[in-house]
Amino acid sequence: MSSKMVLAPALGEQWSHCITNRVMLHYGQSAGGEPVRVATLEKSPSLPTKSVTYVVSSKGIRDSPKSQSNAYSVDPTSKRTRTM
């Protein structure tokens, strides 16, 4: 017999694949009242809540132009109400 120790996940292999981040995609309004696409990091064990604007083009998902992204702000203390 070998006395070699083996490290194994205590909660099983599937536990390492659990989702730990939540990104909500929604529409918001810029300072000029125009609709903008917003991605909000809602839940993360290591990052604060933050929102950024983005555009969808023929080249894929891209950052919004500076004029739109700086004009949109989200209150980081406002959380979506939990529904069961």
H helix count then E strand count, the chain: 1, 4
User: 81 or 47: which carries more pLDDT confidence?
Assistant: 47
Domain spans of the chain?
A: 19-69
Question: Which residue bears the tokens 């529409």?
Answer: 27
Q: How many CA atoms lie within 13 A of 33 on its CB side?
A: 0
pLDDT for 79 equals: 52
- The model's pTM: 0.57
Sign of torsion over alpha carbons 38, 76, 47, 9: negative
> Each residue of 3-54: pLDDT tens digit?
788 777 677 777 767 778 899 998 887 777 778 899 999 888 888 988 888 8
